[in-house]
A and B are shown apart, each in its own frame.
Chain A
Amino acid sequence: MEAVARKICIIGDFAVGKTSTVARFVHNAFSEKYLTTVGVKIDTREIDTNSGPVKLVIWDIAGTDRFSAIEFSYLRGAAGYLVVADGTRGHTVDVARRLRAEARERYGEVPSVMLVNKADLADEWDTDEATFDSLAQDHAAVFRTSAKTGDNVENAIRTLAEMVAG
């Protein structure tokens, strides 16, 4: 069965771990070194879903706290969003919320999954249960992920893949 291709965008504030999440998902690799993304980096991975094989074309978009025209152009044609925040920087959750709302305003309902990343840094975590509950209302699912250990990364992206595959 020929894989269907789907464009997925990964969005969030800078340095929350978008590129690291994609690197974990596509190459099963992680680097402590921060190399900020300029523009967009595109990666692909094919996975099996309940609806058959899907080729995910992942647009890893440079972090921002507000979309400009350039970033809106990147979002065009996306079948789903991976929205990422950094659990050790509470305000990046607010940024994620805003970006999600801006995207919805421009492109309507598009499936999304929320990733609150850096779960391995439990000591520095400053995101509470109530925040998770409220995020759950905006997204199909919310995950505590760690691109560093790989925790929940596969889960989160597969959840979105199932939704966009059909």
Chain B
Amino acid sequence: MSESSQGKDTSGVTLGRFFAQAREGALTGIRCVGCGALAVPPKELCPECGARRWEPVPLSGEGTIASYTVIRVAPRGHAGDAPYAIAAVRLREGVSLLGRVVDVPLEALAVGLPVRFRPIVVKDRPAIAFGPA
């Protein structure tokens, strides 16, 4: 049996399922069965080794801010929320996620600040956020 025919949908972590779980407070990454590379869904092929077999792996949600900004001029759909903070957060496991930062004073934002995942809903859609660690 070829790699491709065994490999379909091995992790079960579709984009829709990832955000459904995130809404419940759980972050689920995917790990390549071939080489162990960790990624966030959705990915069909491993960018490191090309394999097509993934397994779900729970992520701690703990990390530090790698970079951040405060959006003051917002898109039409988010105008009521401004100003709001967005950060790239490097999780303890090594993958990074972009998210809103909530419950942290804007002037306390800093590269290296420890934060922890928390789910939010923006305009009826589940999204990633981080609060104080």
Q: Do these two chains really belong together in a complex?
A: no
